[in-house]
Amino acid sequence: MTSLFEPYRLGNITLANRIVMAPLTRNRAGAGNVPTDLIAEYYRQRAGAGLIVAEATQVCPEGQGYQSTPGIHSAEQVAGWKKVTDAVHKAGGRIFLQLWHVGRISHVSLQPGGQPPVAPSAIRANAKTFVDGAFIDVSAPRALELNELPGIVAAYRKGAANAIAAGFDGVEIHGANGYLLDQFLRDGVNKRTDAYGGSIENRARLMLDVAAAVVQEIGAGRTGIRLSPVTPAGDASDSNPQPVFEYVVEQLDRLGLVYIHAIEGATGGARDFAPFDYAALRKRFRNTWIANNGYTLEMAEAALAGKQADLIAFGRPFIANPDLVERLRRKAPLAGLARETLYGGGAEGYTDYPVLEAAE
């Protein structure tokens, strides 16, 4: 029986175990959205994960949707992330960076020149963003022009190159949770009538263009992607997601991506939020499959034993349990997180959670 604590070969790297730390937005980047020494310490503490997927990181200034989220488009940001990757690697860990463009889930105060956020179509989301320490309604977006889409692809390509320059072992394209690439995919959000709207093939085009560009830039063995077929996050919806995601996964398989990271159900919520056949996606993809959402140790071991997944991602448990892998190994109780310090702030509720021995 496959154990969660066995090593695993992912592309050209070996992971110490099959536990993935999922990307978690914590809103603690410094001036210029540069990762700080505090962020480096946060990830160093969690380097026991087989793989860390660092928090969602905007590939361009227009891609930002929340205050104090890091970027990967300036030299200062690359240098800040280099401190993070050095700290994780020194602690024996492996780390990918999640590449992000929020699309319409943003606010004019975060956009260059106070411009509206961009989206596949000019439809305002019924969603909140985090600005000046508070959750507020997102702004109304404008529809991207056809001639702007190559620039979006180029931003992801450059973000991937910058991530490798910053020392990351690879990148995860954020294609989930109602952000830009997911917005293009879903017919509830994408009402375009050009080559990027209408049919499944057209709606998937931008996501697949981005994946192909990143693979061309840094190699398929260092490129993963995150998908969330039925989540309502970001006010995203699709009338019939099963064929959409089956098509997408088939195309990603052709590109040879090293992994797909699938959120089952509603992100951070009910696993049975809507009916969906995840096994049908799994069958269409030859490489590593990462399962995510509300997994316990027992569920994770069962998923590995049943070959429903190769790796299991844990999100919020990693916040209050920097030594989550060791706690799971020992079947020790997990600490609870302080919700009031999830977003923004400093070390409190970020790097001050004790490890097992200190807690005892």
Q: How far apart are CA 155 and CA 117, in angstroms?
A: 16
By the 10 Å C-beta count (0-12 exposed, 13-18 middle, 19+ buried), 148 is classed as exposed
| Contact of 54 with 84, CB cutoff 8 Å | yes
Q: How far apart are CA 174 and CA 292, in angstroms?
A: 14
| Contact of 65 with 117, CB cutoff 8 Å | yes
Residue with the two structure tokens 């057209």: 202
Contacts of 119 (CB under 8 A, 6+ apart): 103, 104, 141, 142, 143, 144, 180, 183, 189
Residue with the two structure tokens 């830039």: 217
Q: How crowded is the C-beta side of 126, counted as CA atoms within 13 Å?
A: 5
Residue with the two structure tokens 């706690």: 327
In the chain, the amino acid numbered 239 is S
Ordered alpha helix ranges (H), the chain: 37-45, 75-90, 149-165, 180-185, 200-203, 205-218, 241-255, 278-283, 297-305, 317-320, 324-330, 356-359
Please give the positions annotated as active site: 179
Contacts of 15 (CB under 8 A, 6+ apart): 7, 8, 9, 50, 51, 94, 311
